[in-house]
Amino acid sequence: MTSKSQIPNPESQVFARLDEKKKRLDAHRPLSSGVAAKLEEYFRVEWTYNSNAIEGSSVTLGETRAILLDGITVNGKPLREHLEVINHSRAIDFVQGLAQGPAITETTIRQIQSLILRTIDDDNAGSYRRVNVRITGSSFVPPDVSQVAALMNDFVKWLNGEAAQLHPVERAALAHFKSVDIHPFVDGNGRTARLLMNLLLIRAGYPSAVVHVEEREKYFATLEKAHAGDTRDFVALIAVSVERSLDIYLDSVPKED
C-alpha cells in the first residue's frame, strides 16, 4: 500500500485556491433553507448517478432523479441497478449523519459498504473479502486476502493519526486511494471509497466531490499510477472535483458587492 504524495508547488497553489473559495463560502453560512435543500437534492442525484455509472450501471441521470425524487421504478432496468440507486442514497444519508461524529473506524467503513450491497449481496455486505480478487482491465493486483485485516487496521490508524496533518482535500483523496488500494471487499470498493472521501470532505467543511463518469478513463488511469506509487495525478483529479463543487455552491449564494 504505497503512496508517495509529493505535492508539487503548482498543486499547493490549487489547495490555496480551494481554501480561498471555501472561505468565501463559509462567509455565507448558514445557507438559507431553500438554497441548502436545492443543493442537497442536486448533489444527491449527481453523486449517486456518477458513482454508479463509473462502476458500469446503465441507469441514466434522468432515471436516477426519477428513482430518488419521484419514487419511480424504471422499466427495463435490472433490479440490481435500481437497488444500487436506492442503496447509494441511503449510504449518503448515513455519511451525512456522521458529519459531526466520532473518529472513523473500520466498522464505519464496513457499514458504508454494507449499505451499498444491502439486499444485493447480503453474504458479502459489511464483510471483508474472504478470497483473492482481480480487477478487470487493471494491471494492479490487490493484496492477498490474508493481509486485508491488518492493512485496514493500519489504514484507519493512518487516517486518524498521521493523515490529520495533511490538507483536508489531500487527506480525503489519499483515503480514497488507500481504501481501493487495499480493496477490502468483494464488491462496492469504489463506491465505498468515494463515500468515505466525501465523509472526510464534509467533516472538513467542504461540499461533497463528484467524479463525473465522463472522467472515468482519467480516473482509472490516475488510480493505476497511484497503485504504482505516484498519487499526485489522482490527488489533482480529486482537487478538480472539489473545486467544481465549491463553484456550484458559490454560484448559489448571494453575489458579493
- The pLDDT value given to residue 7: 42
pLDDT at residue 6 greater than cutoff 90: no
Does residue 225 surpass a pLDDT of 70? Answer: yes
Domains and CATH numbers, the chain: 13-251 (1.10.3290.10)
The one catalytic residue in 88, 167, 176, 183 is 183
pLDDT at 4 over 60: no
Mean pLDDT of 204-217: 97
Active site residue 183: yes
Amino acid at 104: I
- pLDDT tens column, 170-209: 999 999 999 999 999 999 999 999 999 999 999 999 999 9
What is the b/e burial string over 80-109, where b = at least 16 CB atoms within 10 angstroms of the residue's CB? ebbbbbbbbbebbebbeeeeeeeebeeebb
pLDDT at 22: 98
Residue 2 clears pLDDT 60, i.e. is over it:
no
Distance (Å, rounded) from C-alpha 209 to C-alpha 21? 14
Please, what is the average pLDDT of the chain?
94
For 4, list phi and psi in degrees, rounded to 5.
-100, 100
**pLDDT at position 115, please?**
98
User: For 10-54, how does the pLDDT look when each residue is reduced to its tens digit (9 = 90+)?
Assistant: 567 899 999 999 999 999 999 999 999 999 999 999 999 999 999
Q: State pLDDT tens for residues 45-102.
A: 999 999 999 999 999 999 999 999 999 988 999 999 999 999 999 999 999 999 988 9
